Amino acid sequence: MSASEPEPEQVTADVETGRAGESGAARTATAPDHAAEAPRGDITGAPVEIADPVEREARVEHVGRYVPFVAGATAVVIAAVLGLVIALRSNGLPFELDEEWAEDVFSLRGPIGDFFAFGMDALGGGILGVFVVPVTITIILFAIRRPWAAFYFVVASIASAGLVQLLKNLFGRARPLDILVTADFGSFPSGHVANAATIAVALGIIVPRLWVWVLGAVYTLLMAVSRTYLGAHWITDTIAGALIGVGVALLVWTVFAQKLERERLARATRISEENAARAQAHVTPPAVPRGSVPTA
């Protein structure tokens, strides 16, 4: 064997090394890019976009409805039981908690408190709260092409208001004597707080963002405080109103859950595609010039 020819062991090693390199390259080329495939998520962990229609539909089919149903039903039942206990308690006699809270909150009355409380009263009731706010939200949802979300919001609002009126007439609890506003019959439960809680939960479901839930919770809490400040309700009335608002919103959601999720994912995908097209259109030079006709 001449000096220029490679040793047999060296040739074998080179061949094996080449095969290993080709095999590794093939695995690298065929291996799924999990970082690229993993859908981007919002702060709730839900994906913002799922391009594959099959994957989107699979996600829709697996929307969990059992826990929201149980939670919603439990909230409504607790509110109803609380109303029954109050009705059987010397014809609606307030609890010690009711009287202590009323005494404390009445001591805060003044110009600033009045401005806040009367403003919340108008926002949560009357023409503004019953008509303007719900209609405005519904129109916005239709405008952003969320018809199922709009339908869900309307049904939840109507169901919540209907249940509140049913319980008011069923229990007929007297309102506090030191009341600063004109109110309808029945102190239990608070319709203003129930309406606020329904809006908060419904919007939180429609727009699953942490800031929406936080604002909704704050709005509901402020509404409850304002109702007791005005003497329109006992504190237990507002607790029951919040339970009914949350419970009804969750119960109605279980009926619309899959349609809402399908609609949300489709909108997220559509927005993603529009953003991608808009970004592509601003590439210099663009991959396909705007207004040009592709040639064969």
Note the pLDDT tens digit of each residue in 113-130.
Answer: 999 999 999 998 878 888
9 pLDDT more than 70: no
Decide which of 254 and 296 is more confident. Answer: 254
In a domain, residue 15? The reply is no
Mean pLDDT is lowest, of 38-42, 76-80, 191-195, 229-233, for 38-42
Nearest of 270, 4, 231, 212 to residue 103 by alpha carbon: 231
26 pLDDT more than 70: no
In a domain, residue 78? The reply is yes
Read off the pLDDT of each residue in 273-282 and give the average, rounded to a whole number. Answer: 70
Q: What is the pLDDT of residue 13?
A: 46
The count of domains in the chain is 1
Burial class, 203, CB count within 10 angstroms (exposed 0-12 / middle 13-18 / buried 19+): buried
Q: What is the pLDDT of residue 135?
A: 92
In a domain, residue 105? The reply is yes
Nearest of 213, 215, 239, 243 to residue 227 by alpha carbon: 239
For the domain that residue 98 is a member of, what is the CATH number? 1.20.144
C-alpha 59/C-alpha 65 separation (Å) is 13
Give me the chain's average pLDDT, please: 79
Query: What is the value of pTM for the model shown?
Result: 0.73
In a domain, residue 281? The reply is no
Q: What is the pLDDT of residue 186?
A: 87
In a domain, residue 80? The reply is yes
Read off the pLDDT of each residue in 83-92 and give the average, rounded to a whole number. Answer: 83
In a domain, residue 44? The reply is no
Residue 253 belongs to what domain range? 53-267
In a domain, residue 18? The reply is no
In a domain, residue 220? The reply is yes
C-alpha 242/C-alpha 124 separation (Å) is 13
